[in-house]
Amino acid sequence: MVTTSTAAPAASTNLTDGFHMLVQSLLKNDLNRMYGVIGIPVTDVARIAQAKGIRYIGMRHETDAGNAAAAEGFITGKPGLYLTVSAPGFLNGIVPLKEATENGWPVIMMAGSSSRELIDLGEGDYEGLDQLNYAKPFAKAAYRVDKVEDIPLVVARAIRAACSGRPGGVYIDLPGDTLGQTIDATVAEGLLYKVNDPAPAQIPAQHVVDEAMAVLASAQKPLIYLGKGAAYAQCDDEVRQFVEATGAPYLAMSMAKGLLPDNHPQNAASARGMTMREADVVVLLGARLNWMLNFGKGKHWNENVKFIQVDIDPTEIDNSRYIAAPVVGDLKSTVGLFNDYLAAHPFKADPAWLEAIQADSAKNNARFGGAETVGTVPMNHYNALGAIKKVTDANHDVYIANEGANALDDCRDIIDMYLPRHRLDCGTWGVMGVGLPYAIGAAVTTGKPVISIHGDSAFGFDGMEVEAICRYNLPVTVVVLNNGGIYRGDFKNLGTDGDPSPLTLAACAHYEKLMEAFGGTGYYATTPAEVQQYVAEGVASGKPTLVCCELSIHAGKESGHITYLNPQPVTGPLVGNEQEDLAEHREGGKLVD
């Protein structure tokens, strides 16, 4: 006979709560760094995380926190983690969530939020917003946790979603009342677990590999294109073996630079235009045929080119054109199978093809290389960056963060990279405001020195993060290339109101004073020799440093290398000298050779 008691169960005296359970779930999965801007209702998430051994990096803006975490995800292959408050803080945080998803980097955003019943009835809660549904279009996946016992599950699902397949950004919605829920600590401990194999290998079928290699074997002028997906995949040895086994020239997207050192004899970067126009078979390793590669068609490509595309996401195949040999799989497994095939069926590109590229490279380098070393004052982007190149050539393990228009384009072309995943820039979306947070993420993650190179316009998006660099005493040397404007500083106001041009900024600014204000070291450089000296001193010191470089206001061109994306205005309404003034500041854009 079963007896039912009507007495209330004894209250547990061994309680934990949602705050602690979240932190323990993160630690269980080796997520031991967190970036953020905190307040109601997540203040104690950060404080408890710090107490339990998670390193918390407090940023000055939620967008920067997300970008710093995303940089960590790219470098490590493990989700970066960031924390924001509700509503306005959340909205700031979804920008880098989308950026990470577009870039294919794993990151997890956690944000405090209002109770669901208040949101659903529109009762006007403090910073009330239906954050889960706002996040969904900007993330690879989005989850809300309403019960304290589900916290380990939501962390596990977020990790798996962020890492598996094409990586991306994942959002976790944390209502304040969930964080405050309590549970017996022993029960909570039993619910914790570590995700098993969050990014399983995706191995293509052998016949697909055979077909792709048959297409490669038909090439007269093969080309290998490396994307940041190949850098992220950490298959450095496999990629090097494949490139060198084929003898084919290769090109690297900006964040794939260093996957093989830029001084590798098969690097065709200095003959990019010729290589793309003449290549008849192109192997895409982690590179997408999006706007950065002209969608794989048009005047920049051989009319009859065939593509072998390796991608972990099947929906990327045929995204913009026909792909002759699609190979869906993870890069490490796939390139390993390519190497096995080549070991049994060797293929070597015609040496005359690589020799022709090397000859074109030598001609282009002789034609343009001198601009990097001239002592012209006021400086331009070329000789200022050439001075920095002397420092990086002597310090291969330095990380580079980079943003701007000309500051980005010219840096990518001038400064060589020697190690993988050491260059971080605006990526697939081409956004601003990533430089300093990427630098912070790289410095926090690796402990290695970072040079963060910005145009003066780009620096305005994230410049306040120099305070975070100083507060955490990070080994970051910031360089601001100041030409006094967006693109450059000599644009004219086409009206008569006397205001500066919409593109004009302060050419006389001393940005180094901002670093000095927070205890770092500031330098003002007017010559290439000073740039080299000051950047070298900053890197050697391992301390927060900012070098403000005075460039000519005439240095640079509108929109950098992507002027062709700028629509042309109708000329009719412009009168007097307005059309002439506008035209003199426009230059035709093209993919740079």
pLDDT one-digit tens code per residue, 438-455:
999 999 999 999 999 999
> How confident is the model over 291-345, as pLDDT tens digits?
889 999 999 999 999 999 999 999 999 999 999 999 999 999 999 999 999 999 9
Bridge-partner residues for 282, per DSSP? Answer: 223, 307
Q: What is the DSSP string of 333-357?
A: HHHHHHHHHHHHS-----HHHHHHH
Amino acid 481 reads L
User: Does the pLDDT of residue 578 top 60, yes or no?
Assistant: no
Q: Report percent pLDDT > 90 for the chain.
A: 86
From 300, 284, 385, select the one nearest 591 (Cα to Cα). 300
Domains of the chain (ranges, CATH numbers): 15-191 (3.40.50.970), 206-361 (3.40.50.1220), 369-562+582-591 (3.40.50.970)
pLDDT at 122: 83
User: Of 141-145, 306-310, 343-347, 578-582, which gets the smallest average pLDDT?
Assistant: 578-582
What's the rounded Cα separation, in Å, for the pair 509 and 500?
15
Round the average pLDDT of the chain to a whole number and report it. Answer: 92
Q: How far is CA 222 from CA 159, 213, 282, 436, 558, in A?
A: 38, 12, 6, 38, 34
pLDDT per residue over 221-280, tens digit each? 999 999 999 999 999 999 999 999 999 999 999 999 999 999 999 999 999 999 999 999
Residue 479 forms beta bridges with which residues?
453, 547
User: 177 and 165 in contact (C-beta within 8 Å)?
Assistant: no
Which segments within 404-449 are labelled E, that is strand? 423-424
Give the separation between CA 444 and CA 476, rounded to whole angstroms.
10
What is d(CA 424, CA 452) in angstroms, rounded to the nearest whole number? 9
**pLDDT band at residue 120, thresholds of 50, 70 and 90?**
confident
pLDDT of residue 7: 43
Q: What is the DSSP letter of 500?
A: P
Q: What is the mean pLDDT of residues 469-481?
A: 98
Q: For 76-85, what is the mean pLDDT? A: 98
pLDDT at 5: 38
Residue 568 confidence (pLDDT): 79
Cβ contacts of 63 within 8 Å, gap of 6 or more: 92, 93, 95, 96, 433, 437, 462
SS (H, E, C) 267-300: ECHHHHHHHHHHCCEEEEECCCCCHHHHHHCCCC
The answer to whether 23 and 48 have CB atoms below 8 angstroms apart is yes
User: Is the pLDDT reported for residue 592 higher than 60?
Assistant: no
Kindly state the tokens that stand for 508.
């006389």
Name the token pair of 267.
Answer: 């690097």
Distance CA 246, CA 258 (A): 19
CA atoms within 13 A on the CB side of 446: 25
- Is 90 exceeded by the pLDDT of residue 214? yes
> In this structure, what is the dihedral angle of CA atoms 244, 245, 248, 254, given to the nearest 10 degrees?
-40
Residue 579 pLDDT more than 50?
Answer: no
DSSP strands (E only) in 176-318:
182-184, 222-226, 250-252, 281-285, 306-311
Least confident of 359-363, 395-399, 568-572: 568-572
- Banded pLDDT at 1 (limits 50, 70, 90): very low
Confidence bin at 574 (pLDDT 50/70/90) = very low
Q: pLDDT per residue over 198-207, tens digit each?
A: 999 999 999 9
Dump pLDDT digits (tens) for 83-118. Answer: 999 999 999 999 999 999 999 999 999 999 988 778
User: How would residue 524 be classed by pLDDT, with cut points 50, 70 and 90?
Assistant: very high
pLDDT band, very low/low/confident/very high, at 542 (cuts 50, 70, 90) = very high
**pLDDT value of residue 108:** 98
Can you give the pLDDT at residue 560?
73
Please state whether the predicted TM-score (pTM) of the whole model is above 0.85.
yes
Residue 588: band (very low, low, confident or very high) from pLDDT cuts 50, 70, 90: very low
pLDDT score at 582: 42
Q: Residue 128's pLDDT is what?
A: 76
Query: Would you place residue 522 in the very low, low, confident or very high pLDDT band (cuts 50, 70, 90)?
Result: very high
- Quick: pLDDT tens for 172-213: 999 999 999 999 999 999 999 999 999 999 999 999 999 999
